Structure 1
Amino acid sequence: MVRILSTDAVRDLLSLTELFPVVEDAFVKQGRGEVERPPRPHFPVGIDVDRVRDGSGPNLPDGGASSRPPLGTALTMPAYIHGRDVYATKLVSLHSGNDEHGLPTLNAQVMLTDATTGLPLSLLDGTTLTNARTGCIGGLAVQYLASDPIRLGVIGAGTQARWQTRAIAAASEVESISIFSPTKESREACAADLRDEGLPAEAVLTPKKAVSDATVVVTATTSVEPVFTGEWLDPGTLVVAIGAYTGEMQELGPVVFDRAAQVFADVPEEVAEIGDIREAGLSESDLVPLSDVFEGVAGRDAADEILVVESVGSAVLDAAAAEYLYNKAQERDVGEDIGL
């Protein structure tokens, strides 16, 4: 039997305060090499779907291949933490055009499998799981690396901007939250939703307004160019960048890294390939594993240091979060068991 944990079930089970130590421990295991985390292939999907649907076929009239861009990107993310009873495989899709249809940009499913027998155990809503564990990266980064008081500036107003804000507020006391997105309706809706959750959020008119006077800046976008100017950062600011995950994507400009005393990365070898790092002329050797922070061997050395945390996500966190949710579901008899 396979236990199905729907979106509602995952939301009912999920607690950010419970998830923080789960994510932190997963980072430590990853940093020590006590995990299996194969390369995560990603590939374009939705190429020429419109041509096939309307009967015109995938090729151009002259017989050449179509040059239309793909509709989205698909990723496969497997991982196993040594000594655990289960391993996880996450299937992810990212479709930036979904915003226009009121659909989430990121969609995911996680399959949890018995590590002893290979039998399937659970199929979970991976979208909520991904958003929550990614939020925890920001929450933990602020807890370990930020200076009080926490004045949060957020660039981006989508789902992940909300989860980053929730997690940071769950991990630390937040004095103020400024939300910027180029679209007025998006930033105002995001701020209103966060206020409904009891958080001190307001929409601001410019990225400079969000970044200036902030002690923590979060970027949660799909941008291909810097979303703010590095000169706007005050000394002592912590920047958490979680949007870019390919060489074409970029949220932070070189000035941010010129001013930063240290750059931390959740997966240094993969972060080294994103646009932020490439455009700054940095390499993997310039990046400090975020796990070192949780091991107590790295961190903030001075109050006025500008620090950067770059995250592309790790399947190890998915495996740990899925195991936590599955065990909790078993304890509380949550979810539906079905035979395959």
Structure 2
Amino acid sequence: MNTLDCLEEEERLIEQILPVAHSLRAHTALARLYHLRGNIYFPRGDYAECRRLHEESLSFARIGKHLETQAKALSGIGDSYYAQGSMQTACEVFDQCVRLCERHELVQVEAANRSARGSARFYLGQPELALQDAMQAVAGSRRIGNHRAEVFSRLTAAWVLLASGEEVRAQQELSEALELARNLGASRFEVLVLEGLARVALCQGEREQAQALILAAVERVERFDLQRYIGPWVYGSQALMLDDAALKRQALQRGEALLDQACLAHNTLRFRVSAAEVCLLAGDFEQAVGHGQQMALLPESASCAWVRHHVRLIGAAAQWLQHTDQVSAQALRAIHRDAAAFGFVATMPELMQVLQ
């Protein structure tokens, strides 16, 4: 039922079984049931309830000494923190999960969670560790034939490479991921891959190709009802790649409208940066700074290098574009040095061309 997304029917069945499992003190069964129930609440956007149920699962799995369910429960808890934008905490929980998997050779759980740890590390400004996680996860998932985990691992690697300005290597990972995603019929991952390929094309000066790829991503977002999963992220990228000012505003409005609908937090992180870039290039400096301020409202934003760096960059770029003074130029140079350390030199490619 979970695989087929029959969530309501699945939850009714779990509710019927839980009292029986409790009466029998069947701790491993309870751990599995609460894990499954937690997975139901993730696509619903109720991340607090998702986390509570996975914490119940972890508790019962520890009593029952069932290591695989412990790892899966930690994975669910990490996902819930990631979904709300608490990247430092998510990274710490994914790290617990990966270490548990390493100790007990839980290879089926390890690959996906190693790349999830890499994804959190990417937003925390740890590009070397993030890429190391992603590539190890690629190797591990290939070894056990877990193609879904391999797609996500290659995506994670591509995000790190693309943000670091390594478009050719990113394109290689994305091309591999696209073939795998299409073979799996994994529409969610295909959208992310197409968005990444659109950014590669944009960075390589192939604007028409970028526009075609991002339109294909938008079409799939709408066809497969993926708005809460990836909608604002894709609409923000679309706004950046379109030429017509009215269509740019329309794409930004669509993305903004979705952010209040329990979207995954990576939408806020990505959309706000793209939206700020579009506004800076259009001379709408107040709106650009506002996007940075909105991003800074996420939980744990003070520990998130992605937020700290881009808020500083947006503010300094707005000052320089308005005044072109020496103080703001010095600030931009300092931010650019930090960007190299964080792995964020190419996250706002159109703006960087103007500033250079």
TM-score of the two chains, using structure 1 as the length reference = 0.28
Choose between structure 1 and 2: higher helix proportion.
2
Higher relative contact order, chain-length normalized (CA < 8 Å, sep 6+): 1
Choose between structure 1 and 2: higher strand proportion.
1
